[in-house]
Amino acid sequence: MVQEKLIELIAENVDCDASELNESTEFASLGIDSLDIAELLMTVEDEFGVTVEMDPALKTVGDLVAKIEEGRNA
């Protein structure tokens, strides 16, 4: 559920087809830079009610899904 919703949000933000994204999709390959990630993290907070801090280790969709799930279980 988290992954599917996150993929929808990313697809809307970068104007691509959600079917092209998966957990191993790298943000850099989508042209997402640190400013875009900051905006995405604000959207994540609104959508999932979880605060995810900026982290250079957030490189893929799966990395962010793991952080969201970690925050939900805290």
pLDDT at 58: 95
pLDDT at 42: 96
Dihedral (CA of 36, 38, 42, 45) sign: positive
pLDDT per residue rounded down to tens, the chain (74 residues): 999 999 999 999 898 999 999 999 999 999 999 999 999 999 999 999 999 999 999 999 999 999 999 999 88
- What is the set of active-site residues? 33
What is the CATH number that goes with domain 2-72? Answer: 1.10.1200.10
Domain ranges of the chain: 2-72
pLDDT at 74: 80
pLDDT at 23: 97
